[in-house]
Amino acid sequence: MRLMLAALLCAIAYSASAAMQTNIGVLTCTLAEAGAQGETPPSQTRAMTCAFKPQGTGPEERYSGEIQKVGSQSALSGKLVLIWVVMGPADEELAPGLLGQIYVGELGASPDGKQQAPKMLVGKSDSSYALRPLSDNGKEAASGNVTIVVLKVKSIPA
């Protein structure tokens, strides 16, 4: 009985913390050019530069980093821009460099057995921050043709 009560309390606490997350801004990342055809497979690391624009007021922040284990149904060629809604605590003040960490997303499988893009990348060292991908039309994407497993970002001093 105590075990069931403890599990119930944990589930309620997890739901409450998830419900307290809100859109705190948008992170836009531009991936560096890939190597020549055949040199850099889609599953390798690519460098990127990012800009974080807070929701409402606040200065834009710059980040650099890398994206690992990127898979795609088609080759990743040319310049690629990825956009995420940044989810975070509703009651916390935005500190400079707050997004600087590693984000991880688990790959899901669709009904036809193919891998789908993660629906959210969660901060590894601070899981109260997460990145939710946007589609081309500005709406949250449930899946996409780019699969991100690990994203590393670090703040660039102004």
Establish if 14 belongs to a structural domain.
no
Establish if 3 belongs to a structural domain.
no
Cβ neighbours around 119 below 10 Å, total = 16
Determine the average pLDDT of the residues in 144-157. Answer: 74
Determine the average pLDDT of the residues in 72-88. Answer: 74
Residue 149 has pLDDT above 70, yes or no: no
Query: What's the pLDDT band for 7 if we cut at 50, 70, 90?
Result: very low
Number of domains in the chain: 1
Establish if 102 belongs to a structural domain.
yes
Average pLDDT, the chain: 74
Establish if 4 belongs to a structural domain.
no
Residues 128-146 have pLDDT tens digits of: 999 998 865 455 554 444 5
Query: What's the pLDDT band for 122 if we cut at 50, 70, 90?
Result: very high
Establish if 40 belongs to a structural domain.
yes
Establish if 9 belongs to a structural domain.
no
Establish if 6 belongs to a structural domain.
no
Residues 18-69 have pLDDT tens digits of: 457 899 999 999 988 765 444 545 456 788 999 999 998 889 999 999 988 6
Query: What's the pLDDT band for 147 if we cut at 50, 70, 90?
Result: low
Domain that holds residue 81: 22-155
Establish if 16 belongs to a structural domain.
no
How much of the chain, in percent, has pLDDT values that exceed 90? 34
